[in-house]
């Protein structure tokens, strides 16, 4: 009977692999050990004598990646890592090993926020992808997308205080209420529709569609304000593409100082419509610039366009994870494996 069960188990594993297990592809293509040094350097609670031995930091980071990839809550994550063989194989654990509960997962994610290791982890992944044969080319595309958070029901006075970067008096007096409020998220409008949350500003490689750099801001920050920061990471002689939100004097001047060719779509003005030449140029530039929309569509497909958290620090971690997961999925695709 045991031999039969073993045979059936092996058949099931083989079938899963034939159907295309994205986690197996991810495990084979990205060596998560490259993150160990940074993850182990993070401070951790419970290190006092007699405390519970900590879980392996690489395994914990993999759990956070799984959570983002499959858009899971902490409780759902606890259930899935205990239930799914493919999750356990990705984590490198046996079916009888003790796994972290939802509270431990929450605590670890909060630790990632406190330590601010996201930029280093993102850079390590970028370096891994580049050394695997997908080096950054001479062209980049910039764009931003709104990341929505749950809408708050505030009074006019409370909203006015938030706009002035102040905490409403009633919230200061009620700690429980303050903990339930997001004082960093902001409202913005796009094509006549209002959104509440943050923005994920990204710069991608125009050839491979890999995210090169990113910045998180409140939703009301104009795209052009962040472009200068992204340009700082570019090399002399590179090209940068963007939509009509970017060609403002400060951005163009920064590009010129860095020796970067700025190729932004033009925008018509009141009583000054675009010339036919400008329309033709915009059409050609849009074909390149539109490649960035594929990234946002992919991030949306695994729930990355909406986050369930409060505050800029937590939003920064969630947006980092969305960009990190996207790059792993794109890397798998470019490498010829099944898309995650």
Q: Which has the higher per-residue pLDDT, 20 or 257? A: 257
CA distance 289 to 85: 40
Residues paired with 217 in a beta bridge: 199
Long-range CB contacts for residues 131-136, cutoff 8 Å, separation at least 24: 132/29, 132/331, 132/335, 134/208, 134/210, 134/331, 134/334, 136/205, 136/208, 136/210, 136/212
Give tens-digit pLDDT for 231-240.
988 989 999 9
Q: Where would I find the H helices in the chain?
A: 2-19, 22-29, 36-41, 57-69, 74-83, 85-91, 102-115, 118-131, 156-163, 169-173, 175-179, 223-231, 249-258, 276-289, 291-301, 312-334
Are residues 198 and 319 in contact, defined by beta-carbon separation less than 8 angstroms? yes
Q: 10 falls in which pLDDT band (50, 70, 90)? A: low
Q: Examine the pLDDT at 224 and tell me if it is beyond 50.
A: yes
Q: Examine the pLDDT at 324 and tell me if it is beyond 90.
A: yes
Q: Which has the higher per-residue pLDDT, 223 or 11? A: 223
Give me the domains of the chain, ranges plus CATH numbers. 2-115 (no CATH), 120-149+185-334 (3.30.420.10)
Q: Which has the higher per-residue pLDDT, 43 or 32? A: 32
Give tens-digit pLDDT for 40-79.
988 554 454 555 668 999 999 999 999 999 999 999 999 9
Are residues 139 and 237 in contact, defined by beta-carbon separation less than 8 angstroms? no
Q: 336 falls in which pLDDT band (50, 70, 90)? A: confident
């Amino acid at each position: 009977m045991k031999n039969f069960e073993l045979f059936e188990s092996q058949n099931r594993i083989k079938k899963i692999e034939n159907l295309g297990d994205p986690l197996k592809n991810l495990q084979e293509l990205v060596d998560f050990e490259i993150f160990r040094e940074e993850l182990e350097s993070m401070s951790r609670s419970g290190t006092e004598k007699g405390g519970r031995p900590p879980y392996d930091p690489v395994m914990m980071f993999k759990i956070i990646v799984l959570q983002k990839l499959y858009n899971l809550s902490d409780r759902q994550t606890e259930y899935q890592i205990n239930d799914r063989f493919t999750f356990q194989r990705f984590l490198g654990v046996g079916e009888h090993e003790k796994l972290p509960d939802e509270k431990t997962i929450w605590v670890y994610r909060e630790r990632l926020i406190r330590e601010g290791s996201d930029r280093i982890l993102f850079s390590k992944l970028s370096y891994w992808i580049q050394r695997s044969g997908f080096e950054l080319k001479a062209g980049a595309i910039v764009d931003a997308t709104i990341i929505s958070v749950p809408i708050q029901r505030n009074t006019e006075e409370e909203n006015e205080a938030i706009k002035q970067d102040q905490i409403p008096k009633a919230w200061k007096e009620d700690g429980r209420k303050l903990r339930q409020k997001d004082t960093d998220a902001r409202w913005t409008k796009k094509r006549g529709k209002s959104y509440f949350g943050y923005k994920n500003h990204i710069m991608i490689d125009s050839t491979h569609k890999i995210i090169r750099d990113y910045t998180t801001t409140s939703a009301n920050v104009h795209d052009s304000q962040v472009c200068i920061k992204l340009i700082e990471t570019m090399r002399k002689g590179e090209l940068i593409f963007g939509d009509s939100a970017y060609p403002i004097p400060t951005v163009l001047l920064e590009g010129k100082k860095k020796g970067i060719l700025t190729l932004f779509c033009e925008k018509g003005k009141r009583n000054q419509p675009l010339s036919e030449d400008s329309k033709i140029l915009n059409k050609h530039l849009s074909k390149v610039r539109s490649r960035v929309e594929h990234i946002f569509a992919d991030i949306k497909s695994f729930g990355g366009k909406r986050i369930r958290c409060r505050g800029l620090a937590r939003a920064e971690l969630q947006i980092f994870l969305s960009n990190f997961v996207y790059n792993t999925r794109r890397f798998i695709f470019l490498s010829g494996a099944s898309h995650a």
